[in-house]
Amino acid sequence: MKLTNPEKLILLMLSDIYDKIGLDEVDTKLLRSAIYSENTWALDWEMPGVVGSTAESTPPLVNEVVDYLDMWNFLEEAYVGFDAETKAKIESDAKPFGKHVRFPGFDGNNESELVSIVDILVDDMGRFSRFKGRDINSHAPMRESYARMYKVFEPIRRTLTGLNGLTAQQTIEILQARRHSADNAL
């Protein structure tokens, strides 16, 4: 959803009135967050019957971040379930990224738009709850390495169901793709 500056002002003023009279049908916290962070697509996602969501209303960058969060959710879930011996193999085979498999976030300085998308998804929309409360500032650009990882993950993703998660070998292959090399350049 694209909002003009006057529309944003009107919505912010209405949300203040809405809060003052004690109404709670609309999530004014989300409304404010979406407007202030320029993530108004979130309103389409959370209020599709009100604002008329369409697939085209979601910016491609949001879809990209959702893909990366989904990938990291699967990686972390799988890693937690492995025994110590399997974790040691992952650490060895996916060095240096196989130890403490955990979503590091995005760079707050150079990928601030991505950080903002993660913030609204996790903190305001309640999605990807695994990452709630984490510092998601990686202090280093991560987008390119996630793109390499996702290239490996995406064909695997289609095979995952609620009954089976990532195998140790799949986890290793995805983490190895995080390394920058001529072999896995974009």
The token duo for 146 is: 């996630």
- pLDDT tier for residue 52 given thresholds of 50, 70 and 90: low
> Is the pLDDT reported for residue 182 higher than 60?
no
Pick one of 3.40.630.30, 3.40.50.300, 1.20.1260.10, 1.10.3190.10 as the CATH number of 60-184: 1.10.3190.10
Integer Cα distance of 74 and 27 in angstroms: 29
> Residue 53's pLDDT is what?
54
pTM > 0.85: yes or no: yes
Question: DSSP letters along 127-185, please?
Answer: -SGGGTT---B-SS--HHHHHHHHHHHHHHHTT--SS----HHHHHHHHHTTS--GGG-
Q: Where exactly does CATH 1.10.3190.10 map onto the chain?
A: 60-184
Q: What is the CA radius of gyration of the chain?
A: 19
> Residue 25's pLDDT is what?
86
Residues written for the chain = 186
Residues 99-138: pLDDT tens digits? 999 999 999 999 999 999 999 999 999 999 999 999 999 9
